[in-house]
Chains A and B, each alone.
Chain A
Amino acid sequence: MEMILVPLERMDYWYDIDPALPELRSTATRARKWILRSICEAGSGHPGGSLSIVEILTSLYFRVMRHDPENPLWEDRDRFVLSKGHGAPGLYAILALSGYFDEEELVTLRKLGSRLQGHPSMNKTPGIDMSTGSLGQGLSIAIGMALGARLDRKDYRVYCLLGDGESQEGQVWEASMAASHFKLDNLCTILDRNQLQIDGPTEKIMSLEPTFSKFKAFGWHVIEVNGHDLKELLRAFHEAETYKGKPTLIIANTIKGKGVSFMEGSLKFHGKAPSREELDQALRELGGEA
């Protein structure tokens, strides 16, 4: 049944020797630092769920997606919908590092008059394809974009990033049904499976498991990866691109607050800015050059 055009073993080999990997890793570290600096400067925001998606965004924007920072509205660009809109600081950092705007602008996050709203706003920020923030709506929008591409006979792909707590919203499952019904193989969704939502672990609040077989039963091609391993992510994105007839869901197993010891797996840093001291410690832990 599965149609994978490039044999997995060869992909493994290729990504192992990808000369860009160390560079991607340092891009991810720089993004983490900007996330922390911008949220600290804003005094509010969501560090945990921004840090968990850094490798996902790095692979998408620096390796996988076809896009042009000089031409954010390029018709043929791949689209990205951050359905878990509170991860905005992560996306802003990656957009800045990609060249959509100056890195320095990142510290205007959440300030009055800033282009960088608390949640993504497509009419304000170059590089943002959809306004989000109210959870559970992004996948439907991504489906609309994928259908639009099909109608226009365009070959761009659509990527959508979902939160795991977010996937408790009913609309996510209405959309899941539709994506496979419409056989949208130009759509790839990533589930940020960091196991936490605001009130506690997802499995304690409203269990999602078994996520793999749920999405499979809804007609998706499902891949499970370590969401902080760039090689695994790149391989999964490649597999998604070559898989025909179904949309692909990548379950990215991640750690909320990844990269900062006192934020990893912490409920407290879901929606709380680090203090100056916490920021300093976090930046020290992340190391690398500024």
Chain B
Amino acid sequence: MEWVLKNMRPGFGEALVELGEKYQQVVALNADLSGSTTTAMFDSAFPERFFNVGIAEQNMMGISAGLAATGKIVFASTFAMFAAGRAYDQIRQSIAYPKLNVKIVATHAGITVGGDGASHQMHEDLALMRVLPHMTVIAPADYWETRKAVLKVAETPGPCYIRLGRTDTPLIYDDTYDFQIGKASRLRDGEDVTIIAVGLMVAKALEAADVLKRKGISARVVNMSTIKPVDKNMIVEAARETGAIVTAEEHNMIVGMGSAVAEVLADYEPVPQRRVGIPDVFGESGESEELMEAYGLTVENIVENAKMAVSMKR
């Protein structure tokens, strides 16, 4: 498949500037990564509403909570490891519990961080954020979805976590895409199996569907970009209509998006499910594509698991 690649992070930076123009209450915080997170754009446009707290992520979350308590729409950004990881308790106690209007935009999630290695490869953030009451959790698939999601969450009060990657990713959508929180999008119709993917695995899922088609298996493809609240209807419908599910995510297989889907299936429509994700191990240094390969985040692995899921149908 011929993909047009584009980095998703500027989708955040640009949307943030747009929001800054529209709403006086929008403020942004960063912890010494304003270039990489693209919040430097907001700094240039609205320096008086931008706060770089230095390398102090826990402090950043606390300050964000305080700003939100005064009615600001707060965007706090750093790498996923230092947001969901380092500042987990500050997010839990000071943002989620008091239900404050802080949007955490976490970049450089997942194994595709590459050379920095395990200390920087965040495979647990969807899990950590998903178990917090009040928290909305979103992992966009491309530049456009990032842009639209950032604009949308600003208009929706309450705590929110948006997960972005480091690398350039295939464009799935265009400017006409209407992102809705909690609504998955069906990208491909199919009858034999449904591949539910998130983030950069959405493009791999579409490629896998092509491969499966050549093998005579008709695969539906769904982008589950809101992990919480998860789109139950879309999952149950897929289970009823296709009878088998494969999930694919750049995240530890434990408690990520795949588990969120499994929970819905268990409660409403048990059908065979196979999960593609990072095994329960720490990552390592390497090139992004090599690592995707080494840790099973491949088209072939989705295809294999789809075939398995189909064969498990009763």
Contacts and interface: CB of A to CB of B under 8 A. Distances in A.
Interface of A: 42-45, 85, 110-114, 116-119, 121, 131-136, 165-166, 168-170, 197-199, 202, 205-206
B55 A118 contact: no
Given A112-B294, A197-B55, A206-B53, A165 B115 contact: no
Interface string B105-137: 000000000111111100000000000000000
B269 interface: no
Contact of B115 (A44, A113, A121, A205): A44
Interface of A is mostly: loop
Contacts of A85: 119
Residue of A85, A110, A113, A165 with most chain B CB atoms under a 10 A cut-off? A110
B287 interface: yes
Interface in B26-80: 30, 32-36, 52-56, 58-59
B287 A112 contact: yes
27 contacts: A45-B115, A85-B119, A111-B286, A112-B285, A112-B286, A113-B286, A117-B118, A117-B284, A118-B117, A118-B119, A119-B120, A121-B118, A133-B118, A133-B119, A133-B120, A134-B81, A134-B85, A134-B120, A165-B32, A165-B54, A165-B55, A168-B53, A168-B54, A168-B56, A197-B32, A198-B36, A199-B30
Contacts of A42: 115
A199 B33 contact: yes
Given A112-B291, A114-B285, A133-B116, A198 B85 contact: no
A118 B56 contact: no
Contact of A121 (B32, B56, B114, B117): B117
Nearest to B287: A112
Given A112-B287, A117-B117, 19 more contacts: A42-B115, A44-B115, A110-B114, A110-B115, A110-B285, A110-B286, A131-B119, A133-B116, A133-B117, A134-B85, A134-B120, A136-B55, A166-B55, A168-B54, A198-B33, A199-B30, A199-B33, A199-B34, A206-B55
A125 B54 CA distance: 31
Nearest to A39: B115
B179 interface: no
B178 interface: no
A65 B293 CA distance: 41
B189 interface: no
A43 to B, nearest CB: 7
B52 A134 contact: no
Given A198-B32, A199-B34, A170 B120 contact: no
Given A112-B294, A134-B85, A198-B33, A43 B54 contact: no
A198 B108 CA distance: 16
A157 B281 CA distance: 33
Nearest to B119: A133
A89 B223 CA distance: 40
B18 interface: no
Contacts of A169: 55-56
Contacts of A112: 284-287, 290-291, 294
Nearest to A120: B119
Given A110-B286, A198-B35, A118 B120 contact: yes
Given A199-B33, A199-B35, A110 B117 contact: yes
B313 interface: no
A168 B55 CA distance: 5
A45 B117 CA distance: 11
Nearest to A163: B55
Contact of A134 (B53, B86, B114, B287): B86
Nearest to A165: B55
B12 interface: no
A139 B86 CA distance: 16
Residue of A117, A133, A166, A199 with most chain B CB atoms under a 10 A cut-off? A199
Contacts of B54: 165, 168, 197, 202, 205-206
B144 interface: no
B82 interface: yes
Contacts of B55: 135-136, 165-166, 168-169, 197, 206
B285 A117 contact: yes
Contacts of B115: 42-45, 110, 118
B117 A119 contact: yes
A205 B35 CA distance: 13
Nearest to B114: A44
A45 B285 CA distance: 11
A165 B291 CA distance: 30
A23 to B, nearest CB: 32
Residue of B55, B115, B117, B286 with most chain A CB atoms under a 10 A cut-off? B55
Contacts of A133: 116-120
A130 to B, nearest CB: 11
Contacts of A170: 56, 58-59
B50 to A, nearest CB: 11
Contacts of B120: 118-119, 133-134
A134 B282 CA distance: 14
A199 B47 CA distance: 14
Contacts of B82: 134
Contacts of B52: 199, 205-206
A139 to B, nearest CB: 14
What 7 A-B pairs have minimum CB-CB distances, sorted nearest first?
A133-B119, A206-B54, A112-B286, A168-B54, A110-B115, A118-B117, A117-B117
